[in-house]
Amino acid sequence: MGEGYHNFHHQFPMDYRNAFHWYQYDPTKWFIALCGALGWASSLRRFPYNEIQKGVLTMQLKGLKKLQDSLEWPAEPKDLPILTWDEFQEASKTRQLVLVSGFIHDVSSIVDEHPGGRYHLTNNIGKDASAAFFGGVYNHSNAAHNLLSTLRVGILEGGLEVVTEHSIPPGQRLVITEKKALLDGSEGHKKTCVE
């Protein structure tokens, strides 16, 4: 009776409750609270709400991390080949490649699905379509930015000197990371956080 929240008891053993919201089914909590109100129990202790919320947040982040790790993300820029402009032009003769914000994208998988029609993509094969993508024709949505980032196949030499707001797609601007304690007692990042 109320044991469904038993993990709460293990995290916060000094708290007389198994469930901390008044509406959560926990007859033991209600019984002890009633005894406290009648003077039959005393010194009922509660763990600080702020610390409980940290526990709740941790569990939510674990769930989100699991979802995040199940999704397909774009290749890291350091893992992409660097092509000169001439190499990009040559490769564009056999592949549907478009340059946007210093990244070379293979758009062949979305040409027929493009909401604006094939023309907007095919007309920019082998060209820099950054101006068109960032509002020249249409101000693309976050979803379009996220999708385009998964189509990255290279970087134009000299075309991506610094990380810009366009280098990191909206879906990756907040990344859940895990910190692992190292053997020497210091902490290190398991993954790099994108801020």
CB proximity list for 161: less than 8 A, separation 6 or greater: 102
Query: Which pLDDT belongs to residue 19?
Result: 83
Domain coverage including residue 31? 3-70
Angstrom distances, CA of residue 181 to CA of 49, 83, 148, 177: 27, 39, 36, 13
Q: Is residue 111 part of a domain?
A: yes
Which pLDDT does position 191 carry in this prediction?
Answer: 47
Task: Give yes or no: residues 66 and 120 share one domain.
Answer: no
Q: Is 21 in the same domain as 81?
A: no
Residues 92, 138, single domain; the answer is yes
Which residue is associated with the tokens 């095919």? 122
Same domain, yes or no, for 146 and 87? Answer: yes
- Low-confidence spans in the chain with pLDDT less than 50: 2, 162, 189-195
**183 inside domain:** no
Query: Given this model, what pLDDT does residue 45 score?
Result: 94
Q: Is residue 181 part of a domain?
A: no
Q: Could you tell me if 19 and 29 are in contact, meaning their C-beta atoms sit under 8 angstroms apart?
A: yes
How are strands ordered across the β-sheet holding 82-83? Answer: 82-83, 152-156, 103-106, 97-100
Per-residue CA distances from 144 to 126, 139, 147, 155, 176 (Å): 20, 10, 5, 19, 22
Does one domain contain both 27 and 46? yes
- Output the six-digit token pair for 124: 């920019």
Is the CB of residue 107 less than 8 Å from the CB of residue 117? no
Is residue 156 in a domain?
yes
Same domain, 85 and 145: yes
The number of distinct structural domains making up the chain is 2
My answer on whether 89 and 162 are in the same domain is yes
Q: Is residue 130 part of a domain?
A: yes
